[in-house]
Amino acid sequence: MNMKRTLTAVVFSLLANATHATELTYHWQFGDGQTSNQVQPEYQYSTPGFYTVTLEVFDGQTLSYSKQHEVDAVTPLIRQFDIQVAQTVTQNQPTALIASLSTTAPLELDYQWHLPDGSKQEGDQISLSFTQTGAQEVTLVGLFSGRQVAQKNVVLNVQAASEQTDNRTTPDSDNDQATPDSAGNRTTSGSDDSSGGTAYWLLGICCFTLLRKKLRTSTMVR
């Protein structure tokens, strides 16, 4: 694990306040038990964390200068911090949100989700059901030892739940249906056509009438 930290800024600050010194010695404490007597050391932390570095400068045997500086050996390891979520988010349907972390070295974070209703959840993956439609903002915070080291905001467009499909059956065309005619009366449509029956009945009457007239004419001729 490479977490190199050059403490140049601290050294430059020291030198600006240590002019006219004839003989200086330096003592660095890196906050993890390791030390150095170099003027401008480079140090690699083996474990992620926040460390307080202490520098003491001696002029002979006299402490002439001291300073402390906190080194962040966590956030420089984070390459990407993001939220994975489905492209389509539907109202009242469970939606999975997953924390995505990419680092240059092994790093474990705690995750805290800040939700639109003001509540919070913890874990690298949660499931939500949004009761409101439209834009809903979710914030993911990455914590290391209780300190925030990363944050990601995402605005989700929650769509309304799709309507249920109407499964009602279409009436069978073979079944009789009562429908109004042009006069406003209701007739019954079905396999037997009543208008056809009426036509045959009228045709029979006409034939009978013609035959009767023919017989009467024949009798008068005689």
From 194, 174, 196, select the one nearest 186 (Cα to Cα).
Answer: 194
pTM: 0.62
Q: Read off the pLDDT of residues 5-57 as tens digits, 9 standing for 90 and up.
A: 545 444 445 554 555 556 899 999 999 999 999 988 889 999 999 999 999 99
At 93, is the secondary structure helix, strand, or coil?
coil
**pLDDT average, residue stretch 62-83:** 94
Class in CATH terms, 76-159 = mainly beta
Distances (CA, A) of 184 to 156, 177, 180, 181, 187: 57, 15, 5, 5, 9
- Domain positions in the chain are 4-73, 76-159
Q: What is the pLDDT of residue 161?
A: 83
182 alpha carbon, distance to own chain's centre: 59
% of the chain residues with pLDDT over 70:
63
CA neighbours within 13 Å on the CB side: how many for 136? 23
**pLDDT average, residue stretch 72-90:** 95
Residue 21 φ then ψ, to 5° = -75, 140
- Is there a shared CATH topology between the 4-73 domain and the 76-159 domain? yes
CATH architecture of 4-73: Sandwich (2.60)
Q: Read off the pLDDT of residues 133-164 as tens digits, 9 standing for 90 and up.
A: 999 999 999 999 999 999 999 999 999 987 43
Q: Read off the pLDDT of residues 164-186 as tens digits, 9 standing for 90 and up.
A: 334 444 444 444 444 444 444 44
Three-class secondary structure assignment of 165-212: CCCCCCCCCCCCEEEECCCCCEEEECCCCHHHHHHHHHHHHHHHHHHH
For the record, the structure tokens of 48 come out as: 């992620």
Instruction: Give residue 20's region: left, alpha or beta (phi > 0; psi -120 to 50).
Output: left
